[in-house]
Amino acid sequence: MHIPDGLLSTPVIAGTYLITAGTVLYASKKAKDIPEEKLPLLGLTAAAIFVAQMVNFPVMAGVSGHLLGAALVAILFGPYASVLVMTAVLIIQTFLFGDGGVTALGANIFNMGIIGAFVGYYTYHYLKKINTYLASFLAGWISVMLGALAASIEIGISGIVPFVPFLTLMLTYHSVIGVIEGVLTMVLVKALQGEVEKESLSSEVN
Amino acid sequence: MKKAYIVFGAFILVFILLIPFASTSPDGLENAMEHFSVAEHAIYNAPLSYGDSFITGVIAAIIGMALVSGILYIYIKLTKKVA
């Protein structure tokens, strides 16, 4: 879901860079709340998200997808830590590997990092009382769907594609990609649930 | 917290082993772009790629993982110091 260069209009580039810069700065301010002893694990998690995003899996004929991971990191470490993890991953992907456009970096961090982190965190937070499996699955699935929605809106209002047909196609593909994100989020959150509760990995939003 | 290290360590190992089996089909956005005949106009040439074999893919993964976790760790350490 990495938007390349050449798709976004100047106002969309400027707007997404501004929103992303503000959010990343605020997340940086909140980073002081991340306990020192969790930093190595956060680094390992960021490495895991990077390698997971390298592996595309087939979702339907001629279409592939990859894990985003923002919801997973947000559930385990809190949304601000997730924003910083996703920002680090996307900056390295863009500038070192050419995955995603330089002009679209603000949009890509917003779509995959910021939306994924906050939507994933709050979806899990509010639904976990009902069922933790459902909560973690939906956190992953909705984060992908809303990321795809945001990307479609940004590309749509840039005026290079017919908005509704493009949005429909994007949401169709990502509804399937999101299922894999949801399942992986569910499996990992479940595997680490005892740890989350015992060690309080997730820093609360203040 | 030890279990979390083991789980994410295993997660990394599994995904590294999956690198040669990664789909080469376009992802959801790339496919939608192709459908509407929209092409990217790159303005920047990245120095590295994800590689086209298992070995080059693993090297790319190791470089990327080291940089991502290193930059994140140093950045948070610095922001904590400033705060």
Among A65, A173, A185, CA closest to A123:
A185
The verdict on a CB contact (< 8 Å) between A98 and B7 is: no
DSSP letters, B10-48, are HHHHHHHHHGGG---S-BHHHHHHHHTT---------S-
Task: Report the gap between the CA of B49 and the closest CA in chain A (Å).
Answer: 5
Inter-chain contact B57–A7, Cβ cutoff 8 Å?
Answer: no
pLDDT at B23 > cutoff 70: yes
The HSE-up count of residue B63 (CA atoms within 13 Å, CB side) is 16
Q: How many residues does chain A have?
A: 206
ipTM rounded to 2 decimals? 0.96
Domain ranges for chain A: 10-199
Within 10 angstroms of residue A36's Cβ, the number of other Cβ atoms is: 9
Helix axis angle, A39-54 to B2-18, nearest 10° = 20
Looking at residue A64, the DSSP 8-state letter turns out to be: E
Strand partners, A60: A63
**Are residues A150 and A113 in contact, defined by beta-carbon separation less than 8 angstroms?**
no
> Cβ contacts of residue A97 below 8 Å, gap of 6+?
B46, B48, B49, B50, B60, B64
Measure CB to CB from residue A4 to each of B40, B60, B67 and give the nearest one: B40
Amino acid identity of B45? N
Please, where are the H alpha helices in A31-69? 39-54
* Token pair for A118: 């906050």
Cβ–Cβ gap A54/B41 under 8 Å? no
| Chain B CB contacts of A44 below 8 Å | 5, 8-9, 12, 69
Contact flag B7-A191 (C-beta cutoff 8 Å): yes
Say yes or no for a CB contact (<8 Å) between A51 and B16: yes
Per-residue pLDDT of chain A (206 residues; tens, 9 = 90+): 899 999 999 999 999 999 999 999 999 999 888 888 889 999 999 999 999 999 999 999 899 999 999 999 999 999 999 999 999 999 999 999 999 999 999 999 999 999 999 999 999 999 999 999 999 999 999 999 999 999 999 999 999 999 999 999 999 999 999 999 999 999 999 998 767 544 444 555 54
Question: Considering all CA atoms of chain B, what is the largest pairwise distance in Å, rounded to the nearest integer?
Answer: 49
Is B49 in Cβ contact with A98 (below 8 Å)? yes
Nearest CB to A102: which of B18, B44, B72? B44
CATH topology of domain A10-199: Arp2/3 complex 21 kDa subunit ARPC3 (1.10.1760)
Q: How far is B24 from chain A (nearest CA, A)?
A: 7
